A and B are shown apart, each in its own frame.
Chain A
Amino acid sequence: DVKVTQSSRYLVKRTGEKVFLECVQDMDHENMFWYRQDPGLGLRLIYFSYDVKMKEKGDIPEGYSVSREKKERFSLILESASTNQTSMYLCASSFSGQGNEKLFFGSGTQLSVL
């Protein structure tokens, strides 16, 4: 079975902390994505990566950075966590193609910033 694994299901951090969210996929996918999910807003794209060491900003990149040193791993970094970053974070991956490839999602990390 294909898998996208997010390292933590629940995470509680304090304001100002540096936070790392890790995502690993075992499908040899080129593309990887970080979304945040908030009630009434759906999923919003933070960053994505189409190759190792390559990254592109999504729609809401402010306050976040990413790292992709290996093809299977995509990390989301909150440099200085703030309360408005309390959210569900979803990682996804896909093959490259014509833009209509299926995304595979992890189960999510619920981050609370106090």
Chain B
Amino acid sequence: AQSVTQLGSHVSVSEGALVLLRCNYSSSVPPYLFWYVQYPNQGLQLLLKYTSAATLVKGINGFEAEFKKSETSFHLTKPSAHMSDAAEYFCAVSDGTGGYNKLIFGAGTRLAVHP
């Protein structure tokens, strides 16, 4: 069965500092991996996704993530945090079965950015 583990339910960084949000996955087949972001009082929106085309994936708002098969990881990074990055971030995995796009989500990491 597939699963996702996000290390750290809360991460706090200073404005301008590196953002690193950790995600490890478990999958018996080559996975599709996603990062979604949820701003207060909103639904989730896609930041980026890995679909085996390239191991380093660039997303919106300056975020990127690197797929490392040997470490079963898909960590999200941003070189310089902005106050507007404060949100909850979810890592998710799909095995692509049936084309249903059924995602299994991690527990989420809440990012706080302070001045």
Contact = CB atoms under 8 A, between A and B. Distances in A.
Q: How large is the interface on A (under 10, 10 to 19, 20 to 34, 35 or more residues)?
A: 20 to 34
A68 B61 CA distance: 35
Contacts of B97: 99
A82 B72 CA distance: 38
A45 B105 CA distance: 9
Interface in A6-49: 31, 33, 35, 40-45, 48
B107 A97 contact: no
A96 interface: yes
B107 A94 contact: no
Contacts of A40: 9, 107
B47 to A, nearest CB: 11
B105 A101 contact: no
A96 B99 CA distance: 6
B104 to A, nearest CB: 8
A64 interface: no
B90 A43 contact: yes
Interface in B1-37: 6, 9, 32, 36
B101 A97 contact: yes
9 contacts: A42-B108, A43-B103, A45-B104, A48-B100, A97-B99, A99-B97, A102-B49, A107-B42, A108-B42
Interface of B: 6, 9, 32, 36, 41-46, 49, 51, 90, 94-108
